[in-house]
Copies of this chain bind each other. A is one copy, B any other.
């Protein structure tokens, strides 16, 4: 069934020249795409729908406007709307405040994790200010691209907190240089595109936002042209393997493929290869 992609803070487009590719853009350019609570709740719903939508095989994720992928959490708005107030509870007991913050953070984390759980590969295209939450979000994506003007920072220590939406957990699993992760997370210093490329945080750097998004769409288009059974299985097994010992990874792969390998896509892909034509795969 057709999914509804009308959201307040996100636009979703399906570029005609890239079948099965969804292009999601954060749509709050006047505030440098800074996140309000309503935005991450929307984002969680959006990626859950993309995950289930059999018309989608790959996703590109970028930010509207020239200035920023996202400048991070809208701290001003966050400090005004109190999580405790909404629960109608007087916040004087540290244990009760802790419980409310814990529930709040868990809900926030789940929304961000929805990108990782999205069964379709997600390519994030970043430009300009990409601070704090931008890093949390990007580490849940499968591939990270950026423009030359990007400004990255794990900014949270500068506002007195340890990053709690995923960066500290996922960044060390994305990048193989643990000392570098420690340094940027402890110092909150800004780093640019070249450094991000050198340490492997991004896959490639492009001249500007337009070229970055174009490259992301092209890569998404390529992935979307493959068997969705193969592509979605590959994403899932890679994610599972990250968190498990090798023997468990091998076992899970075997159990997963026991069903997947019965697909008609294998024959279609093999024949297309021999016949030098583009295969057509059923939806998934």
Contact = CB atoms under 8 A, between A and B. Distances in A.
Contact of A254 (B79, B105, B262): B105
How many copies of this chain does one complex carry? 6
The main secondary structure of chain A at its interface with chain B is helix
Contacts of A263: 93-96, 160
A269 interface: yes
Interface residues on A, range: 35 or more
Interface stretch (A4-12, A206-214, A244-252): A244-252
A260 B98 contact: yes
Contact of A179 (B87, B143, B250): B143
Contacts of A237: 162-164, 168-169
Nearest to A270: B159
A19 interface: no
A226 B177 contact: no
Interface in A177-195: 177-183, 185-189
B164 A253 contact: yes
Contacts of A45: none
Q: Which of A88, A105, A236 has the most CB of B within 10 A?
A: A105
Contact of A186 (B90, B234, B251, B261): B234
Interface string A131-165: 00000000000111000000000001111111110
Contacts of A243: 245-247
Interface of A: 1, 52, 54, 75, 79, 86-90, 93-99, 101-103, 105-106, 109, 113, 116, 121, 142-144, 156-164, 166, 168-170, 172-183, 185-189, 199-203, 219, 222-223, 226-227, 229-238, 241-270, 273, 282-284
14 contacts: A95-B263, A95-B284, A158-B226, A159-B269, A159-B273, A160-B268, A161-B261, A164-B254, A169-B249, A173-B241, A185-B234, A186-B226, A187-B222, A247-B247
